[in-house]
Amino acid sequence: MTELAQGHGLDTPAFDLDANEVAGTVELLDGDLYLSTRVRRYVLLRLDEILSAADGPVFQHKLITIEHVLPQNPEPESAWCEKFTPAQRAEWTHRLANLVLLNRTKNPEAARLAFGKKKEKYFGGPSGVATFALTVQVLSKGDWTPDLLKNRQTALLNRLIAEWKLGPLASA
């Protein structure tokens, strides 16, 4: 970090990763990213910047929260529990594909809504427009399923791998 402070930029040798560090980074990105509290917000903000084409407007958000689309604790009788087995919920809940950014305080009641209602009331924002590219992607989906998450995980992971030059792209 000293080299960054001295103005050497991201091309500084301090950011050269060896093969083990690259593998560990990809493993973290492809795993339960939400549980990595020290890096999750940075990774999601950086991914959102990549997806929104960095030359777009820059927003200053007073409060940025990370939201799980598939809730962490869905109601047992909910559609979430019909679409996702307990094993699938354990696999996908904290992974990159299921996480989005919001620019307001989280509403605990909305967090457990069915997907359609969650999109309508939660992710669209007060003006009906989502600020973050990650969130806009969710708004375009008709349903939230394990197959969708698998494809989304690969696509988002590959965007980070390519941007950060972490080696070969992941396959679906």
How many other C-beta atoms lie within 10 A of the C-beta of residue 40?
18
For 119, the 3-state DSSP assignment is: helix
Distance CA 144, CA 98 (A): 9
| pLDDT tens, residue by residue, 46-80 | 898 888 875 555 555 567 888 899 999 999 999 99
Could you give the count of Cα atoms lying within 13 Å of 33 in the half-sphere of its Cβ? 27
Distance CA 152, CA 96 (A): 8
Residues 50 and 160: beta-carbon distance below 8 Å: yes
Q: According to the model, what pLDDT value does residue 127 have? A: 59
- One DSSP character per residue, 56-70 reads S-----S--EEEESS
Do you know the residue count of the chain? 172
For 100, the 3-state DSSP assignment is: strand
Query: Cα 65 to the chain's mean position, in Å?
Result: 11
Q: According to the model, what pLDDT value does residue 74 have? A: 93
Cα angle for residues 71, 77, 81 (degrees, 5° grid): 50
How would you write the pLDDT of the chain (172 residues) with one tens digit per residue?
465 556 555 566 666 788 888 888 889 999 999 999 988 988 998 898 888 875 555 555 567 888 899 999 999 999 999 999 999 999 999 999 999 888 765 555 556 778 888 777 666 655 556 678 888 888 889 999 999 999 999 999 999 999 988 888 888 6
Cα angle for residues 130, 132, 93 (degrees, 5° grid): 100
Q: According to the model, what pLDDT value does residue 60 have? A: 52
